[in-house]
Structure 1
């Protein structure tokens, strides 16, 4: 049986390579070469990895659900609430054996944090930033999906941070979304900040940007008995209390997160025991995350512009 990876861009190639490293039979199919009628007639498909652009998610998820194929869908799933609702409704027949590709839930610092007592939390902040022009070799923002005013922008591109915050603080409510745009790309957010609260009264934010001259990815949580600061790029976590402070370093390779997620996906596909990660992004548990991201995109308020030469 074959694991089909649909979408042969950088993330599709990564997933295909990781599946091969896990001794799986893999077929990488570029979207332009994909023939749905021919594909649906196949009897050798065990599961599908969906690594296409975001607008194509619903059709492929409907196909997988109709065929009974578990799927691993790359993030983000949708940028509008109606889209997200339709995707989760369509996925229902195979949702408990499928996953969303929020691999940051497998970061060792996040898994460590998920085991800690976060009661007494009164403040939180998650942030990611980098200069989009330096993102990938031979990559152009202007001609990419990210420059599309319908579904593009930094909120969608770096939506991991929204999901990450929600995975650790699950009962959050979105209050507002402030954005900075660019005169040459109307409707595309270059810097975005979500303002959030949770049911206990804690207040916080999630920020992402295409502008920072220095790459950064970090989080801070403030509780009445501890102060927690994470740097995901080092990576390490510092926990301070009134009595002492301790910094924990984490040794790992970025691809480890993708590999761990794929191992769990294969276990779900085959009805086997998963890793036990309490944050595993199993599809039937991800509706709130999908809706939060879509609600944030629909509620963006542009309050300024950034002057970046994008030529």
Structure 2
């Protein structure tokens, strides 16, 4: 049997290579020229990895559900609330065996955080920033999906941080989403900041940007018993409480998260026990994150423009 990877861009190629390194038979299929009718007639498909651009989600998830194929869909699933609702309804038949590609839930710092008692946390912040012009070699922002006014922008591109906040504090509600755009790309956010609050009294923010001259990816949690600072790029965690400060460095490679997620997906497909990660991004558990991301994108308020040469 074959794990089909639909979408032959950088992320699709990564997933295909990882699956092959795990001993799986794969078929990497570009979206252009994809023949759905012929694909559905194949008798060798065990599961599908959806690594297309964001607009191409619903039709493939509908196809997988109709055929009984579990799927691993890259993030984000949608940028509008109605889309997210439709996608989660469409995938219901295979939802408990499918996953969404929020691989940061496999970061060792997140794995450690979820094991802690976070009931005393009253404030948090997540931040990620990266100069979009340095994103990839021989890559043009203007010609990419990210530059599209409908479904583009940094909030969607770097939405892992939104999901991380939702993973740790599931009852969060969106209070506002402020954005900064670019004169050459109307409707595309280059920096966005979400203000969030939970029913239990926790408040926080998620900030994402395409502008930072030095890459940053960090989080801060403030609680009644301890303060926690994380550098996801370091990577390291620092915890300070009444007894002093604990420094926890991590040794791992970025691809380890993709590999661990794919191992869990294969286990889910085959009805086996996976890693036991309590943050497993199983499709039927991801509706709240999907809706938060879509709601934030729809309610962005642009407050200005960034002066950034994109030529």
Q: Which bracket does the TM-score occupy, shorter chain normalised? A: over 0.9
Q: Which residue of 2 aligns with 1:67?
A: 67
Q: Which residue of 1 aligns with 2:124?
A: 124
Q: Which residue of 2 aligns with 1:173?
A: 173
Cα displacement (A) at 1:14: 0.1
Q: Which residue of 2 aligns with 1:4?
A: 4
Between the aligned partners of 1:115 and 1:250, the Cα distance in structure 2 is: 16
| Structure 2 residue 72 is matched with structure 1 residue 95 | no
Cα deviation 1:23-79 (Å, max 9, x = unaligned) = 000000000131000001111000000000011100000000000000000000000
Between the aligned partners of 1:187 and 1:33, the Cα distance in structure 2 is: 30
Cα deviation 1:193-239 (Å, max 9, x = unaligned) = 00000121111100000000000000000001100000000000000
Cα displacement (A) at 1:243: 2.0
TM-score (norm 2): 0.99
What secondary structure, in the 3-state scheme, does the structure 1 residue paired with 2:201 have?
Answer: coil
Cα deviation 1:58-109 (Å, max 9, x = unaligned) = 0000000000000000000000000000000000000000000000000001
- Runs of 5+ in structure 2 lacking a partner? none
| Structure 2 residue 222 is matched with structure 1 residue 239 | no
Between the aligned partners of 1:187 and 1:139, the Cα distance in structure 2 is: 21
Between the aligned partners of 2:120 and 2:255, the Cα distance in structure 1 is: 34
| Structure 2 residue 201 is matched with structure 1 residue 194 | no
What secondary structure, in the 3-state scheme, does the structure 1 residue paired with 2:5 have?
Answer: strand
Q: Which residue of 2 aligns with 1:261?
A: 261
User: Matches of residues 122-161 of structure 1 in structure 2 within 5 Å?
Assistant: 122-161=122-161
Cα displacement (A) at 1:114: 0.6
What secondary structure, in the 3-state scheme, does the structure 1 residue paired with 2:174 have?
Answer: strand
What secondary structure, in the 3-state scheme, does the structure 2 residue paired with 1:187 have?
Answer: coil
Q: Which residue of 2 aligns with 1:76?
A: 76
Q: Which residue of 1 aligns with 2:107?
A: 107
Cα displacement (A) at 1:262: 0.1
Between the aligned partners of 2:201 and 2:96, the Cα distance in structure 1 is: 32
User: What is the number of equivalent residue pairs in this alignment?
Assistant: 311
Moved over 6 A (4+): none
Cα displacement (A) at 1:242: 2.0
Between the aligned partners of 2:59 and 2:267, the Cα distance in structure 1 is: 25
Cα deviation 1:286-311 (Å, max 9, x = unaligned) = 00000000000000000011000000
Between the aligned partners of 1:288 and 1:46, the Cα distance in structure 2 is: 28
Cα deviation 1:152-178 (Å, max 9, x = unaligned) = 000000010100110011110100000
Between the aligned partners of 2:255 and 2:308, the Cα distance in structure 1 is: 31
Cα deviation 1:257-293 (Å, max 9, x = unaligned) = 0000000000000000010000000000000000000
Q: Which residue of 1 aligns with 2:27?
A: 27
Between the aligned partners of 1:33 and 1:251, the Cα distance in structure 2 is: 41
Between the aligned partners of 1:108 and 1:242, the Cα distance in structure 2 is: 24
Q: Which residue of 1 aligns with 2:276?
A: 276
What secondary structure, in the 3-state scheme, does the structure 2 residue paired with 1:87 have?
Answer: helix
Indicate the RMSD between aligned Cα atoms, in angstroms.
0.5
